[in-house]
Amino acid sequence: MLCLSLQQPYASLVLWRAYEDDPKKPLKPIENRDWPLPKSFKVPQRVLIQASLTWYPGARLEDLQLLMMPSQWARVQEELCVMFGVWQRDKSRPADIKQSKYFGHILGSVVITGQVTESDDPWFFGPFGFTCEYPELLPKPIPYKGYFKFFEVALPA
């Protein structure tokens, strides 16, 4: 199965549902890249999401204000604070940060339904955006090394 590495907090945000009763829409429905989907990529296609060992440098907690308003996202606020705390504490020790479920693990999967180069969605900043739907978290994250672009993963049965 194909897998894509994302930096935190975006790996988690693309896997968390915007609303618990809506299995289709993730909190972050667009994954931005500076490269397009490969010509061989078939859409729609479910891909695994791996959280890299890094935190996206522009993603400070205060930059995520669009998540902080609705009360139904209190769980997200708490999880982001814990995740950011782990990153701040362990970022200089990759071996320690890998012990966390937030970094260096395959966390779940999404269906990539297409690609946009323009969008009114506040999560889009391009130049390419992969549109994501139907996020699914794994019951238990799987430690796995990430790679640039898409890569193939053989998960145990």
Structure tokens that stand for 149 in this block: 């672009």
DSSP, res 9: T
Write down the pTM of the prediction.
0.90
Element (H, E) at 93: none
Q: What is the distance between the alpha carbons of residues 9 and 49, in angstroms, rounded to a whole number?
A: 12
Q: What is the distance between the alpha carbons of residues 128 and 51, in angstroms, rounded to a whole number?
A: 20
Output the tens digit of pLDDT for each of the chain's 157 residues: 999 999 999 999 999 998 888 899 999 999 999 999 999 999 999 999 999 998 887 765 545 555 555 566 677 778 888 888 899 899 899 889 989 999 999 999 999 999 999 999 988 988 999 999 999 999 999 999 999 899 999 876 6
State the DSSP string of 97-155. HTTSTTSSEEEEEEEEEEEES----TT---SEEEEEEEEEEEEEEEE----SSEEE---
Q: What is the distance between the alpha carbons of residues 4 and 48, in angstroms, rounded to a whole number?
A: 6
